[in-house]
A and B are shown apart, each in its own frame.
Chain A
Amino acid sequence: MLKLAMYGKGGIGKSTMTSHLAAAFAMNGLRVVQIGCDPKADSTMTLLGGTPVTSVMDYMRTYDQEPEDLASISKRGFGDILCIETGGPTPGLGCAGRGIITTFQLLERLQLFATIQPDVVLFDVLGDVVCGGFAAPIREGYADHVIIVTSGEKMALYAAGNITRAVANFAERSYATVLGLLLNRRNVPDEREKVAAFAQEHGLPILEEIPRSDVILACEERGQTVLEGAPTSDLALRFRTLAKRLWEQHS
């Protein structure tokens, strides 16, 4: 099983990249689970035709009890990908990080991995590793590898540096390790050079470069990834190639 956690600065395109990777793994014939770990619960929208799944926290808020089965808090999307969202408390209240931990414990009790037997699990995590809850996806038993999504923008690279350091802090704890960078281009000047310099400084490879494209936005408008909306495009091919390489080298 290949278990990947996607981190990166807020707004950098983590959910977009994660959903595209999930779709690419699925098109390559693998059983995929994507778990959105963001209180906004919008990670899997483009895999579900824009119709969201009931998040775990929404379920608990509505019924005031834990769900008894996976079906209550999951939904099959494009490529039969099982989509789950942790969701979170009402903005400004409660503790979103605790929501992630509670969700993970619930998924363990519901025996997600044993029941679904996925080949690939993708955790799409909000922003930086801001607290213990947002480090939960990289703890032992969850993701084995971290992919950091970044552009060449200064603040995106700053966040990537923070995430790299945060993961390094847990080196003695059998946590996930950083696999590399996924460059989601914003077309800032000298973008490739800036990211390459960052990658070299931190000893990380650039796993793939995703060009800025209106095709992604057009597909998102329809609640799709380009793997679904434009499956023969260059972009779709890039994601499928990356997914194939990740599976071959790290599963």
Chain B
Amino acid sequence: MKETSKQTTGKYPENIMDAYADCATYLPSYASDTSGVCSALYELGGLTVVHDASGCNSTYSTFDEPRWFKQESAIVISGLTEMDAIMGDDQKLIDNCIEAAHIYSPNFLALCSSPMPFVIGTDLPAIGAELEERLGIPVLVIPTNGIHSYIAGCGLAWEALLARFCQRLPKSPKPSINILGASPLDIENNTLSHLCAWIRSIGFQLGACLALHTSLEDISSLPKAHANLVLSSSALPAARFLTHLCDQPSVLGLPIGSFAPILKERLWEAVTTKQSFGLTHTGSEAPLVIAGEAIFCASLATALPLPSVLYSPLECPPTLLLGKDSGGVEDESKIQSMMATASVLMGDPFYQVLAPEKRLLAIPHRAFSGRVFAKDMWNILDPQAFQTRILNPLREEIAC
């Protein structure tokens, strides 16, 4: 905890919020990087092993993973104990991975790490190499440490996956678009269906989707498409990989409201010229505060009739959120000061606690509030829902 103000009593700082700068005192943390790995690889027929104490699987399956009770996936926790850590019992992990692989017969094995193995320096690349030799299947070693968000975890997992399973391929005969960054942590099913229909409606074939309603075979076909639509910062490493591998351009954004025609134009230009299109938002002192994942926030901001200021505590590119925006830093005092001069907040309902008197237009985000608001999730790409839930309330505010 940083104490940033002059202390008056010798015990408490003059302004209590200064004392809690950089601390999360009200808000929960976003889903962790290990949850991101599990979510990213869920549908691909692999065996994902989180090297961690038992218990983290409950957080993942209960809060972060809506598919857990509907769709099978081989995700296991190594059950690391204090003595395993002290003794550096790598052999136990290796033997257990081999046993699990014999049970599940996976396409590949993904091994990711958590705080304890990270701190004691467990050599996962060496363990992965040994497992690959003994199992005869690809082993992806994903260097998570449990202290970053799902953005980092999904990013590392998808990058490792593509590096292993994608190679240059001839392009599809018709212009086609991949969807990158689709995980239930960021996007719900109806929104994804709407997005697929939108891509077709603007004249493209749908390529592969990383990684919802998909398969390992689909993932291998990612290089066939002409461009990528990147929905979340979690897919930026994968987008960079595909550009490097096969000169495949990427366009960042979600086709929300009036931003959809702009995205359509950018996608066609990307396909025609192979030029990538990033996304930038410059925040100002504004009546709107939007909180959440950076690409989502910037897409939404572009579709609104009022200026806004964006807050994303998650990992995001330094060029995405500029001006008064705040990106990549978790700081409740920062968003509270943004909200002090705003009249409307948009984001997950959990943000309401920071300003109970302000109007919040709820956009539940599973990576943040888990299943708490699952029943209230809605499709922001649906023009009617967007009009009712966002634009109309904004008009009321403007009228006031």
Contacts and interface: CB of A to CB of B under 8 A. Distances in A.
B126 interface: yes
Interface residues on A, range: 10 to 19
A174 B129 contact: yes
A98 B88 CA distance: 14
B88 A95 contact: no
A97 interface: yes
B121 A173 contact: no
A139 interface: yes
Contacts of A132: 88, 120-123
Interface string B106-138: 000000000000011111011001100000000
A136 B121 CA distance: 8
Nearest to B134: A172
A208 interface: no
Nearest to B143: A105
Interface string A115-138: 000000000000000011101100
B206 to A, nearest CB: 37
Interface residues on B, range: 10 to 19
Nearest to A133: B121
A131 B126 contact: no
Contacts of B120: 97-98, 131-133
Contacts of B129: 173-174
B322 to A, nearest CB: 21
A107 B130 CA distance: 26
B43 to A, nearest CB: 31
Interface of chain A: mostly helix, strand, loop or mixed = helix
A228 B399 CA distance: 82
Contacts of B126: 139-140, 170, 173-175
A173 B122 CA distance: 13
Interface of chain B: mostly helix, strand, loop or mixed = helix
Contacts of B121: 97-98, 101, 131-133, 135-136
Interface string B217-261: 000000000000000000000000000000000000000000000
Nearest to A170: B126
A80 to B, nearest CB: 32
Contacts of A170: 126
A77 to B, nearest CB: 28
A139 B125 CA distance: 10
A139 B121 CA distance: 11
B123 A173 contact: yes
A97 B120 CA distance: 8
A60 to B, nearest CB: 15
Contacts of A175: 126
Nearest to A173: B126
B389 to A, nearest CB: 41
Nearest to B130: A172
Nearest to B2: A64
A139 B119 CA distance: 16
A132 B119 CA distance: 9
Contacts of A135: 121, 123
Contacts of A95: 119
A173 B130 contact: yes
A98 to B, nearest CB: 5
Interface of A: 95, 97-98, 101, 131-133, 135-136, 139-140, 170, 172-175
18 contacts: A95-B119, A98-B119, A98-B120, A131-B88, A131-B121, A132-B88, A132-B122, A133-B120, A136-B121, A139-B123, A139-B126, A140-B125, A140-B126, A170-B126, A173-B123, A173-B126, A173-B129, A175-B126
Interface of B: 88, 119-123, 125-126, 129-130
10 tightest Cβ-Cβ pairs between the two chains A and B? A132-B121, A173-B126, A101-B121, A133-B121, A132-B120, A98-B119, A139-B123, A97-B121, A132-B88, A172-B130
Given A131-B120, A139-B123, A173-B129, 9 more contacts: A101-B121, A131-B121, A132-B120, A132-B121, A139-B126, A173-B123, A173-B130, A174-B126, A175-B126
